[in-house]
Amino acid sequence: MDNICYGLSGRVFVITGGSRGIGLEIARRLLKNEKTKVVLCARKQEGLEQAAADLDAGDNLLALPAHIAREEDVAALFQRAKDTFGRVDALINNVGMNLLTPSTASAGMDTWKKIIDTNLNGTFLCSCAAAQIMREQGRGKIVNISSIASRRSAPGMGIYGVAKAGIESLTRVLALELAPDNIQVNAVAPSMVKTGFSAPFWSNREMHDQIVGGIPLGRLAEPADVVEPVLFLCSEGASFITGQVINIDGGATIV
Ligand SMILES: NC(=O)c1ccc[n+]([C@@H]2O[C@H](COP(=O)([O-])OP(=O)(O)OC[C@H]3O[C@@H](n4cnc5c(N)ncnc54)[C@H](OP(=O)(O)O)[C@@H]3O)[C@@H](O)[C@H]2O)c1
């Protein structure tokens, strides 16, 4: 891959949940360009320090602790991004979590609230904070990381799927409302990606083979399979695309 990176050189990105997994790989790809700036967040300081050491990007990287479902954390995150780099060109709402819920109907309110809070409420809060800055700039891109679980019921993923469906709906609503401000809002919906998040599934040979059996392209996604479409959606090449959800699933949803 070249360092020009879809014409994104010099742009300022906020990536939520960038201390590992897909978010970290998006940051790594962007920071190959020495003019691009990245702000990433996570809850745990240790993970942020490891990511910062790994990315080794000097002043082009800000790695800040923030819980995206806490209003005060989100406000501080975007204020620091603006104070440090002067603007926010793109927000990548990457944070996601799941608590395995064998039965959604008996999961209980605490579990429901935790999953909805981090996945959906967090995406809402970060989008609102970014939109405020982007409106002043007269431009911006928001890309949400959904999941094909938004449209497919899967064991253990019930509430997570509901939250992701909410994110896809939010994507369309914000795309419409922010269109007059020249802000494009899109989402990607991957099938299983080989990160720590999904390791309990793909590290089990039997489960791995069963999942791959439902994917026409015959393999699981790697983080890089998600990185490239996300960066395209952040680029000027995608400036007439808004309110869309792109499946990144090796064809899983066409069978
Ligand atoms: N992996 C898959 O199979 C797959 C498939 C489809 C969609 N996705 C989606 O892709 C996105 C990234 O997934 P991933 O596999 O890269 O996840 P991951 O490896 O578990 O990484 C999650 C990141 O989010 C951070 N995080 C979690 N909760 C947070 C919170 N409340 N506030 C701030 N940061 C938080 C984590 O750091 P801390 O723990 O330190 O906070 C970490 O940096 C998620 O939206 C996920 O739903 C993943």
For 166-193, the pLDDT digits (tens) are 999 999 999 999 999 999 999 999 999 9
The rounded distance, in Å, linking the Cα atoms of 35 and 177 is 31
Q: Can you tell me the mean pLDDT for 190-215?
A: 96
State the pTM of this model. Answer: 0.98
CA 221 from centre of chain: 15
Q: Can you tell me the mean pLDDT for 232-255?
A: 97
Give 180 Cα–ligand 1 centroid separation in angstroms.
Answer: 31
Contact between 164 and 115 (Cβ < 8 Å): no
Q: Can you tell me the mean pLDDT for 64-85?
A: 98
pLDDT category, 124, cuts 50, 70, 90?
very high
CA distances from 190 to 21, 106, 194, 199 (A): 13, 27, 11, 15
The answer for residues whose C-beta is within 8 angstroms of residue 49's C-beta and 6 or more apart is 63
The rounded distance, in Å, linking the Cα atoms of 153 and 103 is 11
pLDDT category, 24, cuts 50, 70, 90?
very high
Give 62 Cα–ligand 1 centroid separation in angstroms.
Answer: 18
Residues with CB under 6 A from ligand 1: 16-23, 41-44, 47, 66-69, 94-97, 118, 122, 145, 147, 190, 192-193, 195-198
- CATH code for 12-247? 3.40.50.720
Q: Which atom of ligand 1 is nearest to the CA of 149?
A: 6
- Residue of the CA atom closest to atom 8 of ligand 1: 147
Give 255 Cα–ligand 1 centroid separation in angstroms.
Answer: 27
C-alpha torsion 96→98→103→104, nearest 10: -30
Query: Does 6 qualify as catalytic in the annotation?
Result: no
pLDDT at 166: 98
Please identify which of the residues 160, 171, 233, 238 carries the catalytic annotation: 160
Query: Between helices 158-178 and 109-116, what is the axis angle to 10°?
Result: 40
Per-residue pLDDT at 1 exceeds 60? no
Give 175 Cα–ligand 1 centroid separation in angstroms.
Answer: 23
Contact between 116 and 98 (Cβ < 8 Å): no
